Amino acid sequence: MPKVLIHFGEATLRAIDRVAPAAKHQRANFIRRAVKDALFLRETERMREAYRLQPHVAEAAEVWELPRVRKE
């Protein structure tokens, strides 16, 4: 698996460590999941906007909602 180096400010790193301590790779898993969720939300928003601009059925554009982010 390719590696990426990311720099966080001290306050951000402390906040991450409160939620997912570095022990047992929890920090890495938390960051990995957060990135995947952000990518999913961005893609969903892109599809939502495309569907809003050109809905299959006009009424359907009004009820299309973003899915909830799952919590682990």
Q: How many CB atoms lie within 10 A of CB 26?
A: 14
Residue 48: which residues within 8 A CB-CB, separation 6 or more? Answer: 64, 66
pLDDT in tens, 54-69: 766 656 655 556 566 6
pLDDT class of 50 with cuts at 50, 70, 90: confident
pLDDT class of 70 with cuts at 50, 70, 90: low
Largest CA distance in the chain: 51
pLDDT in tens, 1-21: 899 999 999 999 999 999 998
